Chains A and B, each alone.
Chain A
Amino acid sequence: SQTIHQWPATLVQPVGSPLSLECTVEGTSNPNLYWYRQAAGRGLQLLFYSVGIGQISSEVPQNLSASRPQDRQFILSSKKLLLSDSGFYLCAWSGGQSSNQPQHFGDGTRLSIL
C-alpha cells in the first residue's frame, strides 16, 4: 500500500534562517506531488505541485521554493524565513495524471517562526 512520510512534525525557526521540509512517498511510482500551507486556522493554500522529476509549478509567488530531485521525493525550501511563513505545511500525493484521483496527505509540519 502507498504511504506518505513528511518530516519534521514540528519545527521552530528564527526569522532569516533557512528551511528544508521533506516529503517522500512509498508504494507508487510517478505520483503527482503537492505542497500546501494552512495558516491561521483552516484554509488550504496550494504552494507547489509537481507532475514529474524536476517539474515544479508554483501557484503563489512567495519566499519558498520546491524541488523534486527523485520521483517520490518532494522538498520545500526557503533561504530566509519570514514571520509570515509560519503555518501548517502539508504534503500530498495523487496517482496518475487524471483529475479524478484523490490527494492523500501526510501528517503535516507545524512551522513556527520566532
Chain B
Amino acid sequence: AQKVTQAQTEISVVEKEDVTLDCVYETRDTTYYLFWYKQPPSGELVFLIRRNSFDEQNEISGRYSWNFQKSTSSFNFTITASQVVDSAVYFCALSEAFTGNQFYFGTGTSLTVIP
C-alpha cells in the first residue's frame, strides 16, 4: 500500500495565484516525520521542511506554508502568490521511527506557473 499519496499529478496556475499541493500519508507508527522536497528542472531535490508527528503547528516561511493535520493524515503545502521560479516537481515524504532510515516518497506533483 502506498504510504504517501500525492493525488495531484500536474497543476498549472497563473503567476500570482495561490496553489495548494496535497499530501496524504499512512502510518501505524506514533512517531513519524514528514518532509517536502522541491525538484526544479535541473534535477536535484531540495529539502524544504520537516515536521514531526507531535508538532501540529502550521508553519510559514515566506510565501510557503504547510498545514499538518493528523486527524486527516494530511500535510499540505501552499504557495502564496506563485512565481515562475516555483515551477518544479514537489515531493512529499514520510519516515517512521520504527523503520528508521527509509523514506517513503509520494509520486510527486508537477507544478507549472504560467507567466
Contacts and interface: CB of A to CB of B under 8 A. Distances in A.
Contacts of B110: 42
Contacts of B46: 105
Contacts of A43: 105, 107-108
Chain B binding site: helix, strand, loop or mixed by DSSP?
A: strand
B101 A49 contact: yes
A49 B102 CA distance: 8
A105 B45 contact: yes
Given A43-B107, A90-B45, A99-B100, 11 more contacts: A32-B101, A42-B39, A42-B91, A90-B44, A99-B97, A99-B101, A100-B33, A102-B35, A103-B47, A103-B103, A104-B47
Interface of B: 32-33, 35, 37, 39, 42-47, 50, 52, 89, 91, 95-97, 99-103, 105, 107-108, 110
Interface of A: 32, 34, 42-44, 46, 49, 51, 59, 88, 90, 92, 94, 97-100, 102-108, 110
